[in-house]
Amino acid sequence: MRKNIGLVLVGLLWLSCSSGSQSTCQQIGTLTCQKACTCLDGPGCQLSQGGASLSLPSEADCRVFYVSLACSQNGGAMAYNDDAACLPLIQAAMCTGTGTEAALAYPADNACESP
């Protein structure tokens, strides 16, 4: 019986993880992490905004913060003031600096701020 329950749980987990579409919140988080990790030379990811910076050790850690945690409340409704307006801003965001000082310039626009 326990073996069957385990198989059912694994199957449900696989189905929930493999649903191909992401919410807008998840798209923002995923893209933010991809860009922030590509900017920095070497391992890790870095974002900057208004003189402050945030460093994360890996893209997986970045996704935990920007996708799993940020998008977990109310389907991501609590993550951004206006996720539809924030997504193109993240898409257009550029890296600043070079080497180990590089970071993704996170948009300062109110759309990408948390409510």
Cα 115 to Cα 93: distance, rounded to the nearest angstrom:
21
pLDDT tens, residue by residue, 63-87: 999 999 999 877 667 789 999 999 9
80 vs 99: CA distance, rounded Å:
30
In this structure, the number of other CB atoms found within 10 A of the CB of residue 60 comes to: 11
Strands 103-105 and 52-56 come out as unpaired
Model-wide pTM > 0.85: no
Which string of b and e fits 61-72 if b means at least 16 CB within 10 Å? Answer: ebbeebbeebbe
